Amino acid sequence: MTDAMRPDRRPDAVPPPDPAAPALPAAPAVPAAGAVPPSTPAPVFQQPVLPPPVPAGPREYPQALRGPRHRWWRPVLGLATLLAGVGAAAGLILVATLGLVVAQVVGLDLGDPATDEFLVSPAGMLLTNLALALGIPAAILATLVQAGRPGLVTSVVGRVRRRLLFGGLGLSLVLLLPLTLAGSLLVSALGLGSEPAGGDDALWPLTPAASWLALAVVVLLTTPLQAAGEEYFFRGWATQWLGSMLRWRWVALVLPAVVTAVLFAMAHGSQSPWLFADRLVFGLVASLLVWRAGGLELAVAMHAANNLVAFGFAIAYDGLADSLLVTEVTPAEGAVSIAGTVVTAAVLLWWARRQRPAVLVPGDVRRDARPDARPDVRAEEVAA
């Protein structure tokens, strides 16, 4: 008799499982209403393994061009671009000079560009200042070609910070005007100054040149551009070009500052030791301002204010030729000028500290860096 025919088993009873039969897989659990089923992770071989993003910075101003795009050949490309820009600027100056010669031929008396008298004339001052201002586009173009970010030559944030620029300019004028006047009076009273052109040390009355109004307009409008052109070239492009090739932070801070200060002083031609020292200290102090402000704004402001005050006094007393063509100063005059520069820079640094400007290039993120790579400089190392 089979199990189905046994009287104690109902027809609808389920037979017991056979121990020898293979086990069937369990049915998947049905999620409750409203529940989100868990996602199935992709196989390991389908997930790409990438190193975590590592910042290439942050970097201080002298090493601003030493970013993730930096390669050994980029400074060479930047130098070639700058030299091409200087050549183009020289061509423009030559064209302007030829234009002056043609003007003389046709009867326009603009002066002979080969004489010192032309240099201190309104036309000569205009041509000189605009020629030096060409350092701005040359530095920007070279930075663009080398690093792809032309604004970095201006500041670590890639733009002009107008509050620093105009605030620093006003503060520098307020400081340098009385400092220059007091220093001149002190040196003259002690008999330690050089003999003035007119032989009269009196500050009043004024003895301006015949073309003082035109000279004043040219100086006011173009001298800030001239000062900015020199700063963009020396404290801007030259500093960052050297810094981009230097790995160590302190070397990149000190070496470009010294080199550019020496070049800046030498660019003014033949000069006495005290005059050279005055310009050398100015260059070093300007580099300090650039470093602590993270940009060129304060250096441009102090440079422009210094030249405006110097040229202003020179125009007022008909001594522009002596001011522009000076090759020698007495030790007292050099020391007084250096003291004025140091005092002005110290106040600018104090004021800039209160403004809390950015002094680091934000760290650029790159995917090809090693996970254990470290930035060149840490923010806490340069915190004020």
pTM above 0.75, yes or no: yes
With a cut of 50, say whether residue 381 has pLDDT above it: no
Angstrom distance (rounded) from CA 361 to CA 7: 93
What's the mean pLDDT in 123-132? 92
**What's the confidence (pLDDT) of residue 356?**
95
With a cut of 90, say whether residue 209 has pLDDT above it: no
What's the mean pLDDT in 173-184? 95
**What's the confidence (pLDDT) of residue 34?**
53
**What's the confidence (pLDDT) of residue 146?**
96
Return the sign of the alpha-carbon dihedral for residues 325, 331, 334, 337. negative
pLDDT band at 269 (very low <50, low <70, confident <90, very high): confident
Give per-residue pLDDT as tens, 331-364. 999 999 999 999 999 999 999 999 999 999 987 6
What's the mean pLDDT in 308-334? 90
What's the mean pLDDT in 263-292? 96
Give per-residue pLDDT as tens, 63-113. 999 988 899 999 999 999 999 999 999 998 888 888 887 877 777 777 767
Angstrom distance (rounded) from CA 154 to CA 139: 9
**What's the confidence (pLDDT) of residue 372?**
44
* Cross-strand partners of 199: none
What does pLDDT average to over the chain?
83
With a cut of 70, say whether residue 370 has pLDDT above it: no
**What's the confidence (pLDDT) of residue 188?**
86
With a cut of 70, say whether residue 5 has pLDDT above it: no
As a whole number of angstroms, the longest Cα–Cα distance in the chain is: 147
Is the model more confident about 138 or about 206? Answer: 138
C-alpha distances (whole Å) from 278 to each of 179, 262, 310 are 15, 11, 14
Is the model more confident about 374 or about 223? Answer: 223
With a cut of 90, say whether residue 4 has pLDDT above it: no
Angstrom distance (rounded) from CA 371 to CA 50: 9
C-alpha distances (whole Å) from 228 to each of 4, 37, 84 are 108, 65, 20
Neighbours of 152 (CB within 10 A): 25
**What's the confidence (pLDDT) of residue 348?**
98
What's the mean pLDDT in 180-185? 92
**What's the confidence (pLDDT) of residue 120?**
86
**What's the confidence (pLDDT) of residue 382?**
46
